[in-house]
Amino acid sequence: VHMFAAPTMVKRLVTHAKAAGETGEGIRTIVYGGGPMYLADIIEAVDVLGPRFAQLYGQGESPMCITGMTRAMVANRSHPRWRERLASTGVAQACVEVRVADGEGRPLPVGETGEILVRGASVMAGYWNNPQGTAATLKDGWLWTGDMGAFDADGFLTLKDRSKDVIISGGSNIYPREVEEVLLTHPGVAEVSVIGAPDAEWGEVVVAFVVPRPGQDGDAAALDALCRDTIARFKRPKSYRFVGALPKNNYGKVLKTELRDALKQADTEREGA
């Protein structure tokens, strides 16, 4: 059996396999994509289900994959940069050319973060009856994906975040995924999503929505200590909101717009109290 699974589906498969004592026999390949797969989650998936995973990164405007990792790449624990590669979306596929660029479309050096651009035969010709959207997305033959990322020296592309989700606090860029990856290493955290909240002094501040693991209470002090020991101080969440679940679409992607709306509503109610 070969199957595709969004990250949420992979997590559910792993949870079921652990509970049932299964190891994934009968499944040859699980291709994952469609949303961010956090490092802790894919390591656990490989530990539980074995070398069955491959990754694809793409989007509707470029329906064939943009980058990917083979089963061998995902399973190669002996490689000295295995964890870093596992946190990436792999290497550019043969059918496309991929660039990490600045705001003018100029390619950036290895290690620098910019917007991911792609061109090739698989890229769309344009949006149906939407010339304005097409002009904003396709420029000089390149598809501007709206995703931020960086290449390493071996051509592995690591996603940082959607450009619209980057938090700008005190003039510094904060990528929510970096903070999420840290918080997910805490044993009491099942899921997390980080957003920016408006702030009169800093422009935006970091807010973390956290789903505790069953039987665990939310411990903001412990999470803050973890962040203080792991990432720069200005990237630490200014508040933690403990919730029972994160809003998601049918593909398992967290709906950060709904989190922003919930935060705005809570602030409005507090001001009116």
The pLDDT tens digits of the residues spanning 209-221 come to 999 999 988 999 9
- 104 and 237 share a domain? no
- 62 and 43 share a domain? yes
Range of the domain at 193: 166-272
Provide the residue count of the chain.
273
CATH number at residue 255: 3.30.300.30
CATH number at residue 129: 3.40.50.12780
- 100 and 223 share a domain? no
Q: How confident is the model at residue 14 (pLDDT cuts 50, 70, 90)?
A: very high
Give the whole-angstrom CA distance, residue 185 versus residue 87.
14
* Interval 184-208 mean pLDDT: 94
Judged against a pLDDT cut of 80, whether residue 87 lies above it is answered with yes
- 84 and 214 share a domain? no
The answer to whether 229 and 182 have CB atoms below 8 angstroms apart is no
* Interval 125-149 mean pLDDT: 95
Q: How confident is the model at residue 265 (pLDDT cuts 50, 70, 90)?
A: confident
Tell me what pLDDT residue 159 has.
93
Q: Which amino acid is at 81?
A: R
Q: How confident is the model at residue 273 (pLDDT cuts 50, 70, 90)?
A: low
Closest CA to 21 of 46, 41, 1, 48: 48
- 177 and 234 share a domain? yes
Mark which of 113, 147, 163 sits at the end of a domain.
163
Q: How confident is the model at residue 191 (pLDDT cuts 50, 70, 90)?
A: very high
Give the whole-angstrom CA distance, residue 139 versus residue 216.
49
Please state the domain count of the chain. Answer: 2
The pLDDT mean for the chain works out to 93
The pLDDT tens digits of the residues spanning 90-112 come to 999 999 999 999 999 999 999 99
Chain position carrying tokens 């009169």: 200
- 149 and 264 share a domain? no
- 128 and 9 share a domain? yes
- 174 and 264 share a domain? yes
Structure tokens at 52: 């069955």
Mark which of 138, 163, 188 sits at the end of a domain.
163
Judged against a pLDDT cut of 90, whether residue 256 lies above it is answered with yes
Range with the poorest average pLDDT among 178-182, 187-191, 251-255: 251-255
Judged against a pLDDT cut of 90, whether residue 250 lies above it is answered with no
Q: Which amino acid is at 143?
A: L
- 153 and 262 share a domain? no
Locate all alpha helices (DSSP H) within the chain, ordered by sequence: 7-20, 39-49, 71-75, 82-86, 131-137, 176-183, 220-230, 256-272
* Top-confidence residue, 64 or 148: 148
pLDDT more than 90, % of the chain:
81
- 151 and 201 share a domain? no
The answer to whether 195 and 256 have CB atoms below 8 angstroms apart is yes
Mark which of 163, 189, 215 sits at the end of a domain.
163
Give the whole-angstrom CA distance, residue 161 versus residue 177.
6
Q: Does the CA dihedral 234-110-123-84 come out positive or negative?
A: negative
∠ CA 187-193-195, rounded to 5°: 140
Chain position carrying tokens 């010339």: 131
- 105 and 52 share a domain? yes
